[in-house]
Amino acid sequence: MKRIRPLNQEKREAILKAAIEEFYTKGFEGSSMDTISKLANVSKATVYNHFKNKEELFLSVATIIRERIEESFKYTYSNIIDIKTQLKQIAKKEMNFLNSKDNMKLIQIITIVMIQKNEIGLKLLEIFEDDCMIMTSQWFQDAKIDGKLDFESSHFVSKQFVGMLKSFAFLPQLYGSAMLSKEEENKVIEEAVYMILKLYKK
Amino acid sequence: MKRIRPLNQEKREAILKAAIEEFYTKGFEGSSMDTISKLANVSKATVYNHFKNKEELFLSVATIIRERIEESFKYTYSNIIDIKTQLKQIAKKEMNFLNSKDNMKLIQIITIVMIQKNEIGLKLLEIFEDDCMIMTSQWFQDAKIDGKLDFESSHFVSKQFVGMLKSFAFLPQLYGSAMLSKEEENKVIEEAVYMILKLYKK
Amino acid sequence: MKRIRPLNQEKREAILKAAIEEFYTKGFEGSSMDTISKLANVSKATVYNHFKNKEELFLSVATIIRERIEESFKYTYSNIIDIKTQLKQIAKKEMNFLNSKDNMKLIQIITIVMIQKNEIGLKLLEIFEDDCMIMTSQWFQDAKIDGKLDFESSHFVSKQFVGMLKSFAFLPQLYGSAMLSKEEENKVIEEAVYMILKLYKK
Amino acid sequence: MKRIRPLNQEKREAILKAAIEEFYTKGFEGSSMDTISKLANVSKATVYNHFKNKEELFLSVATIIRERIEESFKYTYSNIIDIKTQLKQIAKKEMNFLNSKDNMKLIQIITIVMIQKNEIGLKLLEIFEDDCMIMTSQWFQDAKIDGKLDFESSHFVSKQFVGMLKSFAFLPQLYGSAMLSKEEENKVIEEAVYMILKLYKK
DNA sequence: CATGAATGAGCGTTCATTCAT
DNA sequence: TATGAATGAACGCTCATTCAT
């Protein structure tokens, strides 16, 4: 059941889509509300009816991204499934997220703003508190408690693990390299899991 | 006979210094030639005498950065020194570069533009083709030939090695995390070297 | 049969109240229909249902003010009461009006528009044709006919009289000076009446 | 001797002239930098090269006005010339100023802004501290000391005197009435001087 | 009758760039 | 060569107004 004429949802989505596109190609500063409104086929004033200002529009885009990320990094430790399998599943889930053109687009957008660290960049930092790392870190902690892995700091190890994935599937792509093929992806996962087990398996 | 310094070199350098500062704090789009000229204590027109336009000024800044990076990643394989020592030296050199506030500043600047991949970002990509990786990769190749390490692809392994360092000393800092302390730095180096040896030492 | 209150009267009044406040603080140009509608707690479209446009809303405000002024300046000559007393009563009445913060507010609002004499200012002039002066002038005319005062032009004298009051209780306040205290007010009245009698009493 | 290429003085003056015209017809809020620049036949950016922003442009206009006023109200007491003559001269000088269309234009401009009492209106108040009144008041003080006139407060009397003039030559014109003819002007001066002498001459 | 949504036109301001001197 | 001055185009944003519901 629709709310009585909410701000026309189609237009809102058209604007967000246009904004993502524009922020992606031009960054926050480089983007213009004029262009966004034209891309979305609405008047500039309409954009301002939906979003208080450029910053809020951007933050809305950022929130969308954040939700996708959060979704992609949920994983909880199981003491039934064998750890090698679990590690692979975690890696696969993360790779799934990273190895998507759309997601990288979104990440690039927020990367730019977070690097610029204006007020708005700082707000982003608050929004983005690295959940991915936190959840993976929790998994390692649980695996340690369960006596399956042995190391000092779960935080350090999870950074090693995720870092290994990101070395191949994030950093290069951040700078424009091509996405990984399915085989490459598998190889990277395989090697990262192998490394962790070799280094820390009890 | 041409004069060697047809344009006042001091002013040129003042402009470049101002530009680095400005590009860092505001990004490419956010920076204004006006502000740069004021920071450099020259007239705006003078900036344009030295640099055809904003883009060329930026590219000049980028070139400076590139030179510094190149300088920092030179390392050639030695069959005399033991590989653990060499790996540590390589790691130390790279960490030295990454773990400096100024260098991170510069990297952040070019990161933004490279992500945005406008014409100007693409030009940057040409300039930057990851030398660091290439040189480190060469070292692993030589170590393999020398029979000290065993793996399939030197490219893959060097990415693992450097990636491990970057996980701790680059990615977080790109997004604004604090630099590593000397102890943390050492720990990271230690672990990365340990990992490579554990995985690939013959 | 027409309904007497075809539009919700409460809302209409809320709008007018909001408009007075807004026009006062921001002037005609500085005021926005948006703000007025928000202040009045109605939708912008409702404002337009009640008042064709910004100008007509303003004119409605002006009419309210005019009515208050007219009310304040009614005074008719009496051949029974002694003229000194009557002059004092006239002065008191005018001072009563002028020496009120709210009234000055309203006068300031219309002053701005009348000075600007756009179409809308001209319409105001038609509305306002200085009743106050006309009525006071009539009193002097009657006093002359009654043989109590002697002068050439009643118009001139009434301007002297009212002008003397306005010098102290209008012009300075128009520009933001504080209202007169009761004592100051009395002194001004006293002196103005004294002046008229000294100059024109038969 | 000219300063080396000062901001093209012609353009500056064209802008100021245009600004006076525009501020006069539209008030501060209603005026647009766009229109002003078009009136002045320069680009909008040029206006901003000469004046930091709209407010400063306005304040510049205000300063011009203030200088004219100051010029017009200088008068110092003389114990040689007879006071009736002096009073007439003072009145004539003030009337000269008030009874000029250009001056009234300028006064109307600042009146609007002073009434609106934004930040900028308050700045105006600082600029305008009623010199006219102060100087005339001083004259009355001197006349009293010289034993030619007798009253309590020179401030009060000067307000009476100037107020009498303004009643005829300022207030009506502020609201758009026609300027006084030479005869009317003389009559007003005559009567104001007569009033002062009748009330306060020793 | 009241409203949420939409819009074209305009705002004050800044920009990268050019040009005469 | 170095500069002050100029500019057209664009920016983020707000406005008075309209219209479908």
Give C102-116 pLDDT, tens digit per residue.
788 888 888 887 887
The stretch D160-185 carries a mean pLDDT of 90
pLDDT beyond 80 at C197: yes
pTM of the model as a whole: 0.78
State the pLDDT at residue A7: 60
For D66, the token pair is: 């203030």
> What is the nearest CA distance from B1 to chain A, expressed in angstroms?
44
Chain D residues in contact with C155 by the CB 8 A cut-off are none
Low-confidence ranges of chain A (pLDDT < 50): 1-5
Is the Cβ pair A167, B156 closer than 8 Å? no
Residue partners of A112: CB distance under 8 A and separation at least 6: A27, A28, B27, B112, B115, B116
Query: Among the listed ranges A76-80, B4-8, B26-30, C120-124, which one has the minimum average pLDDT value?
Result: B4-8
State the pLDDT at residue A1: 33
Q: How far is the CA of A34 from the C1' of E8 (A)?
A: 13
State the pLDDT at residue C10: 85
* Strand F nucleotides in reach of protein CB atoms, 7 A cut-off: 1-21
Is the Cβ pair C28, D25 closer than 8 Å? no
Q: Does A103 touch chain B (CB under 8 A)?
A: no
pLDDT band at C100 (very low <50, low <70, confident <90, very high): confident
pLDDT beyond 60 at B74: yes
Residue partners of B8: CB distance under 8 A and separation at least 6: none
Q: Does A168 touch chain B (CB under 8 A)?
A: yes
State the pLDDT at residue B109: 80
Query: Cβ of B8 < 7 Å from strand F?
Result: yes
State the pLDDT at residue D7: 60
The stretch D153-163 carries a mean pLDDT of 92
Comparing every residue's Cα with the C1' atom of nucleotide E19, the nearest one is: B45
Instruction: Give the chain B residue whose CA is nearest to the CA of A26.
Output: B116
Q: Choose from C112, C164, C186 for mutation: most chain D CBs within 10 A.
A: C112
Q: Does A29 touch chain B (CB under 8 A)?
A: yes
Q: CA A14 → CA A32, A53, A54, A101, B151, distances in Å?
A: 16, 16, 15, 20, 50
State pLDDT tens for residues C5-43.
445 788 899 999 999 888 877 878 888 999 999 999 999
Comparing every residue's Cα with the C1' atom of nucleotide F20, the nearest one is: A5
pLDDT band at C120 (very low <50, low <70, confident <90, very high): low
Chain D residues in contact with C163 by the CB 8 A cut-off are 163-164, 166-168, 171
Burial of D100 (0-12, 13-18, 19+ CB in 10 A): middle
Query: Cβ of C48 < 7 Å from strand F?
Result: yes
State the pLDDT at residue C5: 45
State pLDDT tens for residues B180-202.
999 999 999 999 999 999 999 98
Query: Cβ of D8 < 7 Å from strand F?
Result: yes
For chain D, positions 136-165, list CB contacts with chain C under 8 A: 156, 159-160, 162-164
The stretch D43-68 carries a mean pLDDT of 90
Q: Which of D174, A36, D145 is nearest to C115 (CA)?
A: D174
Task: List residues bridging with A117 in a β-sheet.
Answer: none
Both ends of chain B: CA-CA distance in Å? 61
State the pLDDT at residue D47: 94
pLDDT beyond 70 at D132: no
Asked if D42 and D14 count as a contact pair (C-beta separation under 8 A), the reply is yes
Chain A residues in contact with B121 by the CB 8 A cut-off are 176
Query: Among the listed ranges A30-44, A158-172, C131-145, D143-157, which one has the minimum average pLDDT value?
Result: C131-145
Residue partners of A57: CB distance under 8 A and separation at least 6: A15, A16, A19, A33, A36, A47, A50, A51
State the pLDDT at residue C130: 62
State pLDDT tens for residues D80-112.
999 999 999 999 998 988 888 888 888 888 888
